Amino acid sequence: MVQPYNSSDDKKNEVRAMFNNIARNYDLLNHLLSLGIDVLWRKRIIRILQSYKPDNVLDIATGTADLAIMAAKVGVRSVAGIDLSEMMIEEGNNKVSACSLTKIIKLEVGDAEQLPYKDEMFDAATVAFGVRNFADLKAGLRDINRVLKSGAPFIILEFSKPVVFPVKQLYHFYSFYILPLLGRVISKDKRAYMYLPESINVFPAGDDFLEIMSECGFSGLKQIPLSFRIATIYVGHKS
């Protein structure tokens, strides 16, 4: 299993430590390293979410709350955001306050694999760039399924791998050479931006990921490749 620091600690502790380390610079690096494209991808998720008209949404691995804030801004009445990393949640809470959205968005520290919510609570759930970091992917997806109402959508945005020439080759060079260098200089965390392409490389994408969603209780599945498949949106519904 690819882990951020490849120490003897388990993946969950390492992921938490890594995001605590990079939380202060996370937004800057996110937008810089993706050349701002991540914002367009998140907007796409929000358009899909809006089509379901959910009242209450759970944003898992919410990080600094970008997606939660976008959901609240398009009229979702209540957004719960949960994340393993205390520092990411702190950054998120600062942004939620700055946007005067504290009545709508509630963020808390917690684990996607053991969500602190009752069964069938949410009209919809989202995860952006989070599932790749779960220590136990299926445990996470199953617990997300548990807290969704029957038929509710689960919308995931995750990196995948481009397959066409020359995007595949350019992307490989960028993600394994340029991105770790810039990430190391700005975040001061040597491993965080090496872990990013390594974890994308081993993560099940496309049909393989849909298969796992199906095993975890989702149906009505579809995938939407974005930007030559650099990322993919997956949509499923609680069966």
Q: Give the footprint of ligand SAM on this chain (CB under 6 A).
A: 15, 19, 30, 61-63, 66-67, 82-85, 88, 111-113, 128-130, 133-134, 140
Q: How far is the CB of 191 from ligand SAM (least distance, A)?
A: 14
CA distances from 61 to 23, 119, 171, 172 (A): 13, 19, 25, 26
Query: 147-151 long-range contacts, Cβ below 8 Å, gap at least 24?
Result: 147/58, 147/115, 147/117, 147/118, 147/119, 147/120, 147/121, 147/122, 148/58, 148/120, 148/121, 148/122, 148/124, 148/238, 149/120, 149/121, 149/122, 149/123, 149/238, 150/120, 150/238, 151/237, 151/238
Shortest Å, Cβ 132 to ligand SAM: 8
Nearer to ligand SAM, 91 or 164 (CB): 91
The least distance separating ligand SAM from the CB of residue 35, rounded to whole angstroms, comes to 15
User: Residue 145 in contact with residue 217, Cβ under 8 Å?
Assistant: yes
DSSP state of 169: H
- Cβ 108 to ligand SAM shortest distance, Å: 10
By beta-carbon proximity to ligand SAM, the closer residue of 84 and 148 is 84
Nearer to ligand SAM, 65 or 151 (CB): 65
Cβ-closest position to ligand SAM: 63
Residue whose CB is less far from ligand SAM, 66 or 123: 66
- Token pair for residue 46? 């929000």
User: Which has the closest alpha carbon to 53: 123, 126, 135?
Assistant: 123
Question: Could you tell me the smallest distance in angstroms from the CB atom of residue 183 to ligand SAM?
Answer: 12
Q: Could you tell me the smallest distance in angstroms from the CB atom of residue 190 to ligand SAM?
A: 17
Q: Do residues 49 and 116 touch, judged by C-beta distance below 8 A?
A: no
Q: Which is nearer to ligand SAM, 18 or 164 (CB)?
A: 18
* Shortest Cβ 64–ligand SAM spacing (Å): 6
104 versus 192: smaller Cβ distance to ligand SAM: 192
Question: What are 129's two structure tokens?
Answer: 């760039």
Looking at beta carbons only, is 82 or 148 nearer to ligand SAM? Answer: 82
